A and B are shown apart, each in its own frame.
Chain A
């Protein structure tokens, strides 16, 4: 809500500086987001009278205008034609400044010297009218500085209004709160009641949705531009001036908060206005020129022929106020928020009026708005009020709310007694009676937001002052902490970051096609993504079932930006249709089925994992960096090593992918992506990726490692080299070597892989450093010989290998 200070000051003047008032408002919940001076830059513009207008030869548009500012005549060249001799206009003399930094100088135009300029409403930021110059009221004093005459240095407060406080969408409502917060006097205009009779009868068919309807007729108006002061105010408050009658309805809406509609009475068919819902097939062309098909739920104002307004939202084009209008019917009504909100949503039509209805305008504001609007129209557009009637079939009864002062004080933790609480509530207009231990509080009509006892607590605290509420820090009486799984997850992420992997963050939106590309079968659970009803874009239509689509997208994005290498990970959820083994969260009283949200670790990389240096060549990232990263996190969690095994599943290279098992269950797959998929997805060659489910590893949190105490005795260190068929996996060979090395083995480290003619076709040699340690007994050469013999035997038995001696 934009509140010009000059307008506010007509209702309340607490005698504070501009900044002090902003402070009071913010502290009271009318949070001032900005203080603006939309016309503050105007300098050197004065009121002048037109003395003579002479055409300039050779120009259709321009004329030479002589104006008098009370002291001297000035001759200026002007391109507008909307004024005549004796009009008062805004003269910007040489040296003047206008909003937007425009400076006025003497200028030669078509051979004539122009000593200044006649300014338009737009040039002064008073309106957005640039069709002609601004013509001022006749009572504008000659020579007066426009700055003071039109209050151009008026500050405008931009206030954030929360949805519960609809009453703050009016100057009067803001003034009421300022009066309550500061104790300053509130000046509310007198209500001039509607005359008993009115030539426009009103029938309200739906009294739930239209709770009140006042109509006033005004005859003899002359439609034209509003006076400059009103245009300036409306513009400052964020509304576009249209014409005096329309501006009056808008100004009163801004002032009192009750939207008003003015009809050209002559264009209404028949005397009666009817408030009803739409009938099948009815249409209405609204003020914005859109021909609308009406819904049976739309509430309408109708005349004898049919709809003339979409109640509370927008009037019809046919009965719109126009330049020829002389008799008007004012509609000052009250509609239910729900009705207006639904119509707004159906027709995608948000207006200044609808915004106010949605936030509850009380029916009690109707008479004041009607009285004020009729008065303003007569003041600025001529005319006289010729009748009015107020239809208010079921005025609601406001039940008092019971306030327990002791509970209020304990709830708020501040020391305010029952009497003080009552007085604070009276300041916002409540009626308070003491009822034994309790207070009976009746809200003022303009505060429909006050319905519960706790609402009164807030008002007590607010008027007392939130900033005066002391701070106390309660003891939680418990030790804080994270769930074990959460702590473990942090450890995983820190371990990977510490080992050279970069954590990324992606939105969980993908397309179903992203999953098709990865080649999974149609019946794979990952191919059944959950669709969004209102995705932000077509590329974000479903929730991810796997981290891979986003991982490869991020890799491609980096490669396209000439980033030479990437090693990235993400710990995030996927969203899968729930199963018995993998259920979703509880669905509430309606038992809504929610997806499973497993936590996954995703990895992706390309390019060198170790960049080339002056002392070391580059080393490309490969599957062993991925498996190693997974092993690292298993180790950091105190879990046994994951067991890798070859897999040929999509989307991976059939010979360069591994599934990783934990406690006998496969928890993920990592590897080089299939060259075909690398090509399709336009990824860097040999991009590696993978993902695994974290829940089995994180479950129960970090397991504390248990030590193996080092032996105090010297151990044995020797090497063996095992020759096997190429097809035998290294893990099987190592397993056999370990078994052969016996119970004293403390390390088996592969240090060389060799292939050569000497070994024979299809053979390879794996060479290991072996360490044997025994804390109780000095190991001897005999132990070493025995171990080597055992290794030789078991290697032969288990993997068909032999030792190279």
Chain B
């Protein structure tokens, strides 16, 4: 046996025992620090493998190749083992750290602070949206109105019961020389309906008109669960050259279905308002009974005249809807007074 062969055999034995020791050390390393230690002592510069490697320079080419191959194989094997062990130890360490960092996800979250819109206003806008979708333009009018706009121009008879102090809230005249009438009325009042807006828009615009007037209205009513002295209406008005009663019925029915749902059962029955003829009311099936949804009718020729329109040239229809009751239905409110009580806990329901 040549000397170099002997060295190769001895070297191989050294490598084999070094690999075996390293395998054991890697397997036994229980922390990443220990593994670093193992790596430097078994694979580093002072390791047996490094020492064997340093002997290669003194060997024959063949011996160097043979022993070199053994060393490389050993290093590759140990590197894989070390890497695998490292992955395992890192996973263990991460598991511990992540476990320590765990939070109680059931703690109250930080919900961004939000307030709410008032349910009556929100309902108003939702209803107005439907009419905007049908092509109506939205307008408004003054809440303090004249008797003329609210009653006379709307074809109310001079002795109409709604004109009495027990129905309508009157305002003291703003001019010092104005005289009150014997019955206490003053010719200036808080509008009890949005309808005077019809007259104002007719004075301002020529036909055709397709408009909607949402607004606050007032009556001399004591507040109870279903009445407030201040409430909300949405007035619709359509005036054109060839509108008919069927157009009225179709419009209010379509509108009602858009608000209450497409399968809502409706009834269209005769009613009376001084400012419309024929007049009707739309009833909707609700909760086993029939609920009055809105009053409507073909605009009375006298109203068109008061608005400065020619009733032989144009005609149209109008309707008025109470918003507050719709808002009650929408949100399950059982007492209308909640709407003006403004308890934060009530309002917070809508946030």
Question: Is A452 at the interface (CB under 8 A from chain B)?
Answer: yes
Question: Is B272 at the interface (CB under 8 A from chain A)?
Answer: yes
Across the interface, which residues of A come within 8 angstroms of B68, CB to CB?
none
Within the complex, which residue of A452, A469, A486, A578 is in contact with B277, where a contact is CB–CB below 8 Å?
A452
Across the interface, which residues of A come within 8 angstroms of B344, CB to CB?
502, 558, 563, 565-566, 568
User: A39 to chain B: closest CB distance in Å?
Assistant: 24
Within the complex, which residue of B118, B180, B271 is in contact with A505, where a contact is CB–CB below 8 Å?
B118
Question: Is B172 at the interface (CB under 8 A from chain A)?
Answer: yes
| Closest chain A residue to B149, Cβ basis | A588
B114 touches A498 (CB 8 A): yes
B137 touches A480 (CB 8 A): yes
1/0 per residue B46-62: CB within 8 Å of A?
A: 00000000000000000
A502 to B118, CA, bound (A): 8
Question: Is A775 at the interface (CB under 8 A from chain B)?
Answer: no
A499 touches B249 (CB 8 A): no
User: A347 to chain B: closest CB distance in Å?
Assistant: 13
Within the complex, which residue of B108, B139, B270 is in contact with A28, where a contact is CB–CB below 8 Å?
B270
Within the complex, which residue of A162, A461, A501, A508 is in contact with B245, where a contact is CB–CB below 8 Å?
A461
Across the interface, which residues of A come within 8 angstroms of B300, CB to CB?
454
User: A46 to chain B: closest CB distance in Å?
Assistant: 36
**A494-532 residues at the B interface, CB under 8 angstroms:** 494, 496-509, 530-532
Question: Is A718 at the interface (CB under 8 A from chain B)?
Answer: no
Question: Is B44 at the interface (CB under 8 A from chain A)?
Answer: no
Across the interface, which residues of B come within 8 angstroms of A505, CB to CB?
118, 120-121, 339-340, 342
User: B177 to chain A: closest CB distance in Å?
Assistant: 11
| Closest chain B residue to A414, Cβ basis | B246
A534 touches B347 (CB 8 A): no
Across the interface, which residues of B come within 8 angstroms of A508, CB to CB?
143, 230
| Closest chain B residue to A593, Cβ basis | B174
1/0 per residue B104-128: CB within 8 Å of A?
A: 0001101001111110110001001
B220 touches A614 (CB 8 A): no
A597 to B270, CA, bound (A): 37
| Closest chain A residue to B232, Cβ basis | A505
B114 touches A500 (CB 8 A): yes
B135 touches A480 (CB 8 A): yes
If A27-B269, A454-B278, A594-B188 touch, whether A470 touches B246 (CB-CB below 8 Å) is yes
A474 touches B136 (CB 8 A): no
Across the interface, which residues of A come within 8 angstroms of B229, CB to CB?
507, 509, 536
A499 to B144, CA, bound (A): 33
Question: Is B238 at the interface (CB under 8 A from chain A)?
Answer: yes
Question: Is B79 at the interface (CB under 8 A from chain A)?
Answer: no
Question: Is B224 at the interface (CB under 8 A from chain A)?
Answer: no
User: A455 to chain B: closest CB distance in Å?
Assistant: 6
Across the interface, which residues of A come within 8 angstroms of B128, CB to CB?
482
Question: Is A338 at the interface (CB under 8 A from chain B)?
Answer: yes
| Closest chain B residue to A540, Cβ basis | B229
B138 touches A486 (CB 8 A): yes
User: A683 to chain B: closest CB distance in Å?
Assistant: 15
Q: How many residues of B contact A (CB 8 A)?
A: 100
**A153-180 residues at the B interface, CB under 8 angstroms:** 162-165
User: B36 to chain A: closest CB distance in Å?
Assistant: 39
Across the interface, which residues of B come within 8 angstroms of A558, CB to CB?
342-344
Across the interface, which residues of B come within 8 angstroms of A531, CB to CB?
171-172
If A411-B298, A506-B342 touch, whether A165 touches B135 (CB-CB below 8 Å) is no
A532 touches B170 (CB 8 A): yes
Within the complex, which residue of B117, B174, B247, B301 is in contact with A474, where a contact is CB–CB below 8 Å?
B247
User: B335 to chain A: closest CB distance in Å?
Assistant: 14
A493 to B278, CA, bound (A): 39
A507 touches B230 (CB 8 A): yes
Instruction: Give the contact stretch, choosing among A131-139, A273-281, A579-587.
Output: A579-587
If A587-B146, A589-B148 touch, whether A502 touches B116 (CB-CB below 8 Å) is yes
A26 to B271, CA, bound (A): 10
B250 touches A473 (CB 8 A): yes
Q: How many residues of A contact B (CB 8 A)?
A: 101
B144 touches A501 (CB 8 A): no
Question: Is A535 at the interface (CB under 8 A from chain B)?
Answer: yes
Question: Is B140 at the interface (CB under 8 A from chain A)?
Answer: yes
B146 touches A594 (CB 8 A): yes
A486 to B136, CA, bound (A): 14
A480 touches B121 (CB 8 A): no
A509 to B229, CA, bound (A): 10
A500 touches B210 (CB 8 A): no
1/0 per residue B303-325: CB within 8 Å of A?
A: 00000000000010000000000
B117 touches A470 (CB 8 A): no
**B183-213 residues at the A interface, CB under 8 angstroms:** 183-188, 190, 200, 203, 208, 210
A508 to B183, CA, bound (A): 25
A469 touches B249 (CB 8 A): yes
User: B243 to chain A: closest CB distance in Å?
Assistant: 6
If A508-B230, A534-B220, A597-B143 touch, whether A412 touches B244 (CB-CB below 8 Å) is yes
User: B174 to chain A: closest CB distance in Å?
Assistant: 4
Question: Is A780 at the interface (CB under 8 A from chain B)?
Answer: no
If A504-B342, A505-B339 touch, whether A595 touches B135 (CB-CB below 8 Å) is no
Within the complex, which residue of A503, A588, A592, A609 is in contact with B116, where a contact is CB–CB below 8 Å?
A503
| Closest chain A residue to B160, Cβ basis | A163
**A461-498 residues at the B interface, CB under 8 angstroms:** 461-462, 466-467, 469-483, 486, 490, 493-494, 496-498
| Closest chain B residue to A550, Cβ basis | B342
Across the interface, which residues of A come within 8 angstroms of B143, CB to CB?
508, 573, 575, 597
User: A174 to chain B: closest CB distance in Å?
Assistant: 14
A412 touches B246 (CB 8 A): yes
Across the interface, which residues of A come within 8 angstroms of B222, CB to CB?
536
Within the complex, which residue of A162, A476, A587, A614 is in contact with B135, where a contact is CB–CB below 8 Å?
A476
**A595-635 residues at the B interface, CB under 8 angstroms:** 595, 597, 609-610, 613-615
B108, B113, B208, B301 pick with most chain A CB within 10 angstroms: B113
Within the complex, which residue of A342, A471, A474, A534 is in contact with B240, where a contact is CB–CB below 8 Å?
A474
Question: Is B254 at the interface (CB under 8 A from chain A)?
Answer: yes
Question: Is B3 at the interface (CB under 8 A from chain A)?
Answer: no
| Closest chain B residue to A557, Cβ basis | B342
Across the interface, which residues of B come within 8 angstroms of A534, CB to CB?
165, 169-170, 184, 220
Question: Is A413 at the interface (CB under 8 A from chain B)?
Answer: yes
A461 touches B278 (CB 8 A): yes
B271 touches A457 (CB 8 A): no
Question: Is B131 at the interface (CB under 8 A from chain A)?
Answer: yes
If A478-B210, A498-B115 touch, whether A533 touches B107 (CB-CB below 8 Å) is no
| Closest chain B residue to A563, Cβ basis | B344
A71 to B351, CA, bound (A): 73
If A563-B344, A588-B148 touch, whether A480 touches B131 (CB-CB below 8 Å) is yes
B118 touches A458 (CB 8 A): no
**A12-41 residues at the B interface, CB under 8 angstroms:** 26-29, 31
Question: Is A399 at the interface (CB under 8 A from chain B)?
Answer: no
| Closest chain A residue to B302, Cβ basis | A452
Question: Is B96 at the interface (CB under 8 A from chain A)?
Answer: no
B144, B208, B343 pick with most chain A CB within 10 angstroms: B144
Question: Is A260 at the interface (CB under 8 A from chain B)?
Answer: no
Across the interface, which residues of B come within 8 angstroms of A499, CB to CB?
113-115
Question: Is A358 at the interface (CB under 8 A from chain B)?
Answer: yes
A458 touches B113 (CB 8 A): no
User: B311 to chain A: closest CB distance in Å?
Assistant: 9
B159 touches A341 (CB 8 A): yes
Shortest Cβ-Cβ A-B pairs, 10 listed: A29-B270, A413-B244, A476-B135, A413-B246, A162-B272, A458-B278, A471-B250, A500-B113, A533-B170, A480-B132
Given known contacts A412-B246, A482-B138, what 7 new A-B pairs fall within 8 Å (CB)?
A414-B246, A469-B246, A480-B136, A480-B137, A565-B344, A568-B344, A577-B174
User: Which A residues are closer than 8 A to B by beta carbons?
Assistant: 26-29, 31, 162-165, 337-338, 341-342, 345, 358, 410-414, 452, 454-455, 457-458, 461-462, 466-467, 469-483, 486, 490, 493-494, 496-509, 530-536, 543, 554, 557-558, 561, 563, 565-569, 573, 575, 577-578, 584-590, 592-595, 597, 609-610, 613-615
